[in-house]
Amino acid sequence: MIGVKLMTGLAADIGPADLILVLGVACHATLLAYIPQPRWKAFFYALPVPFTLAMVAVGQPVNVTHVLGLPVVFLFAHLVRILYNRGISIVLAIVFAGAVYCLISGSVAQVVPVNSASFWGMLGAVFLAGAFLHRTLPQRREPPHRSPMPVYFKFVIIVCVISGLLVLKDFLEGSMAFFPMVGVVAAYESRFSLWSWARQIPILMLGMIGLLGVARLLQHVLPLIPALVCGWGVFLVIVGVMTRRMWAKART
């Protein structure tokens, strides 16, 4: 009886934006499963499709809790990689890293002051961290891998996983936008190339700084969705240029 009430309450909290989030993220994650090349898998993982849909689903303006999610995503990815390389199964590694993400992001989101000073200060700190990591982390050649599972079956599994993650929406607040919903799938599908996947995240961090900064400035004069669209333009320029340079450097 309690379980029925809990499910009924959860269903009542799920609106059209949540359904769009589930389907959009599931399509994004399914695409990743069938891209064989590690660098292209990592590039498409970094596109802020889940972030954008989660922003709309959560319904909060851009604030410091969104910025806080970026370094924890980096921690999530490398924690999965380290655990898997030490013999932990990929599923257990993802579950543990996801729990760490929730614990850190959810706890910090409850106490961090949500104001302009904290937003711009944290944005600057993440920029320095992302630039340092991008400059210092090496690249590695890793084998390609493509999921052998039928697409329809993979899609259904991913929809179920993403739907289950919606229960975390209120606890994580803004950092829900960066919860590795696609990362959970990407980590599993990239288990043969985890370094390439995690190596892309500093570029994601730098691109998201542009997106968040632009959206923050424009959200006071534009609705959230147009502000995010403008931020996407800045993101694509930053990530496109940086990724191209990184790939060119890898060929030399």
User: What pLDDT, on a 0 to 100 scale, did the predictor assign at position 62?
Assistant: 87
Alpha helix (H) residue ranges in the chain: 2-13, 16-33, 38-46, 49-58, 64-85, 90-111, 116-136, 151-165, 169-172, 181-189, 194-199, 201-218, 224-251
Give the CA dihedral 149, 153, 157, 160, nearest 10 degrees: 170
Residue 77 pLDDT greater than 50, yes or no: yes
User: What pLDDT, on a 0 to 100 scale, did the predictor assign at position 167?
Assistant: 61
User: What pLDDT, on a 0 to 100 scale, did the predictor assign at position 236?
Assistant: 94
Total-model pTM: 0.81
Rounded to whole angstroms, the Cα distance separating 84 from 89 reads 6
User: What pLDDT, on a 0 to 100 scale, did the predictor assign at position 152?
Assistant: 67
Residue 11 pLDDT greater than 70, yes or no: no
Rg (CA), the chain: 18
Residue 12 pLDDT greater than 50, yes or no: no
Which comes out higher in pLDDT, residue 176 or 4?
A: 176
* Mean pLDDT, residues 80-98: 92
pLDDT tens, residue by residue, 34-48: 888 888 888 888 888
Residue 136 pLDDT greater than 70, yes or no: yes
Q: Choose the weakest-confidence range: 24-28, 143-147, 152-156, 172-176.
A: 172-176
User: What pLDDT, on a 0 to 100 scale, did the predictor assign at position 5?
Assistant: 36
Written as six digits, the tokens of 203 are: 């570029």
User: What pLDDT, on a 0 to 100 scale, did the predictor assign at position 180?
Assistant: 64
Residue 237 pLDDT greater than 90, yes or no: yes
